[in-house]
Chain A
Amino acid sequence: MARLSGTVRSIWPPVVFGAAMLALWQLIVRGFDLKPYFLVAPSDIFDKFIDNRSNIWEAMRVSGTNAAFGLLFGAILGVLVAFVLSRFRILDELVMPMSIAINAIPAFVLVSVFNNMFSSTSEVPRRLMVTLVVFFVVLVNVSKGLRQVQPVHSELMRSYAASGWEIMRKVRVPNAVPYFFTALRISAPLSVIYAYVSEYFGGAQNGLGNRISSNISNSKNAVGWAYVAGACLLGLGFYVISIAMEAVATPGGAGQRNRDDS
């Protein structure tokens, strides 16, 4: 109960601040009589959001599904590869630099390449793009977690005559768990953003990214903004889910604690 009221108290200030900013925005647009092609009033955006809610929902579903697929496969792949690399140092030295090099390629180049590989209405290129981005974030973080075991822990395990497999199971994996959730927290919003961005480079015209750009280019700014609001909601939803997963998996918030202060 006390915890709930604490949450409410910490939620109030940003909510009030956000509402005040929206009110200010509304006042400026109306007060200076700004034209819709320059800046749309929040009330208009809200109206369009309600009018188009089923279309927005459909676009959110498309982009959200792409992001979720990418997030899921990227995370699984990242964890698997991190495990393999941590067992074979030589592979690690070969694969890591290449991963970083691939990661340095601008995203849109890859989306265009993927689009050429699959049919024009396929969602696969977008999902591949998200998978790739999430994969690197998870790989780098989980590898670190599997490797950065406190020296005192390694010494202890050696004094217990523990095998490599036992050290993996009892020390390296639990040590990597907070790193994994950090990676998830970083890549959840990234997955949504990359899902939108990859829609700008061709493919079916059905996601939030498509809708935003097509509405804006047809001067339907208020509708475009309504889709932007939908995109914000989706990104927020992904972020909240990733935080909730972290809270469930590491009770007591051990993941947030500074791990060097023991």
Chain B
Amino acid sequence: MSAVVVNGVSKVFNTGKSAQVDALHGIDLTIEPGEFVSLIGPSGCGKSTLLRLIANLTEPTAGSITVNGKPSKQARLDQDYGMAFQQAGLFEWRTVAKNIELPLELKGWDRAKRRARALEMLDLVKLPEFAHHMPWQLSGGMQQRIAIARALAAHPPLLLMDEPFGALDEMTREHMQAELLRICKETNSTVVFVTHSIPEAVYLSNRVVVMSPRPGRITDIIDVPLGSSRDDGTRETGDFFSKITEVREALRGAEYSAGARGIEDR
């Protein structure tokens, strides 16, 4: 059973009005369990919209989306996925551990079980000594790690991430990418990852989905066979650079066809 199946999905905002936007048109995408898939493309290509559709935070205008073999709405109601955004979005009145426990509270877990899982997740993101800290006592990178721990707390099979490292500095960002790969390997998660950064997409992904705007669509899907154990050394290999070039050229093709901008070339 595939982790995510997107079948002929279109999304139109402001239907029938003068401000009508074809955010997505004719999207087909299948993601297998354990896969790490990045969505990349210039601003307005609908990559975030596609992620939000998979999360059932918004409904498609046409087509269907299946997550874990169920309609996406049912998957949301069952909390079959965890989500992380560019903002860590921690609740500032809750301690770090209590933040991680929130999705478990809503699932109706009892206190002891929640606490045990929160501590386990803190170990996973290597911040075990911060359980009783308040979010504002943590750096941006640490907050983002807590947000990832929270997204994974209920052990969902699927992780949806919308530019989670977009607000971090380059060094922290590379460190977080390596951490994310390690965590995904340990938890066996499937990941759909929206990003602006080509090296980030290449470093993390098994497949990079290249998108283009007006209307938002998939123009290319690039396999990244860099192996399953990637580290800082991977960033310096010829294969890594040639994949970056391949994605960049695919994006340029998409960009020229649409005349849009907004891709980070780093």
Contact = CB atoms under 8 A, between A and B. Distances in A.
A175 B92 CA distance: 9
Nearest to A250: B93
Given A166-B106, A254-B134, A257-B136, A159 B83 contact: yes
B226 to A, nearest CB: 30
Interface string B221-257: 0000000000000000000000000000000000000
Given A152-B87, A155-B57, A155-B83, A162 B106 contact: yes
A162 B106 CA distance: 7
B134 A156 contact: no
Interface band, chain A = 20 to 34
Given A160-B102, A160-B103, A166-B106, A254 B57 contact: no
A145 B116 CA distance: 32
A86 to B, nearest CB: 18
A177 interface: yes
A254 B89 contact: no
Contact of A161 (B77, B85, B91, B105): B77
Q: What DSSP secondary structure best describes chain A's contact surface?
A: helix
B135 A170 contact: no
Interface of B: 55, 57, 76-79, 81-83, 85, 87-94, 102-103, 105-106, 134-136, 143
Given A153-B89, A262-B92, 20 more contacts: A155-B57, A156-B83, A159-B55, A159-B57, A159-B76, A160-B103, A161-B77, A161-B78, A161-B79, A170-B91, A170-B105, A170-B106, A177-B93, A254-B92, A254-B134, A254-B136, A257-B92, A262-B88, A262-B89, A262-B135
Interface of A: 150, 152-153, 155-156, 158-162, 166, 170-171, 174-175, 177, 250, 252, 254, 257, 259, 262
